[in-house]
Amino acid sequence: MDLSMRGDPAARGDPKKGLAEPPAAERVTVATVARFLFGSREAILMLANGRFVLPLALVLVFSAAIARQYDHVYLLKNPGFLVRPLVASFLLASFLYSILLVAFWRNLEPPRPGFRAYVTFLKLYWMTAPMAWLYAIPFERWMGVMDAAVANLWLASPFATIFGVEHEAAVNLPGGSDTRRYGDTAVTFYRL
C-alpha cells in the first residue's frame, strides 16, 4: 500500500465510511501472516478478502493445538484434543461477533453485515492462532520452575493483564498475588 495515497479520497476508498478498497489478490505468504499479526492494514485486508484463507486459518488452529499439547497428549490415542480448540475458538468468536454486532447495530448502515461478514471475522480471528505457539515453548524442560515462570510471564506481558502459572503445590512462587492449590497442583496468578 502506498502511504502517499492517504490524502486522495479516491485512493483510500469511500471516505464517508472510512473503508479501503481490498488489495489485489496476492499470494498469502508467511510474511503476510506476520504482518497481519503485527497489525498491518494491508495484510488484514488481504487476508479478509483472500480466497483460501479459511483453510489456512484452520490449519493454524490445529497447529496451535498440537503445539500446546504435544508433550501432554498422544495424538493417535486421543485425536479429539485437536477438535476442542477448534470448537472453543468457534464458540468464542461467535460470542464476540454477536456482542460486536449488537453493540454497533444502530450505527451500521443498510445493508447490515450478514453471513459473509461473520465468515470474514471468523477467519481473521482464527488467523491469530500462531500467537498460541508462544505459550507452547517448553521453558519447564530447560529451566527451573522459577525461571520458566518468569519466561512465561515475559512472553505473556504484551497480551495479558492476568497471568496464571501452574506448578507443584509444594513450590511457592514469589510475588504472586493469589495462589490456589488443587491437590498436588497449584496455580499462582500475577497481575501484569
Query: What confidence score (pLDDT) does residue 1 get?
Result: 40
Q: What is the reported pLDDT for 159?
A: 65
| pLDDT at residue 3 in the model | 39
Compute the radius of gyration of the chain from its Cα atoms: 21
pLDDT of 5: 40
Largest CA distance in the chain: 65
Does this model's pTM top 0.85? My answer is no
pLDDT score for 9: 46
Query: Can you give the pLDDT at residue 176?
Result: 62
Kind and range of the H or E run holding 33: helix 30-37
Q: Which amino acid is at 92?
A: L
Taking only the tens of pLDDT, the chain with its 192 residues reads 443 344 444 444 554 455 555 555 578 888 999 999 888 899 999 999 888 899 999 999 988 888 776 666 666 777 777 788 889 899 999 999 999 888 888 787 777 788 888 999 999 999 998 888 877 788 878 888 778 877 877 776 666 677 777 788 888 877 766 888 888 888 888 776
Contact 152, 165 (CB under 8 A): yes
163 three-state secondary structure: strand
CA 135, CA 130: separation in Å to the nearest integer?
10
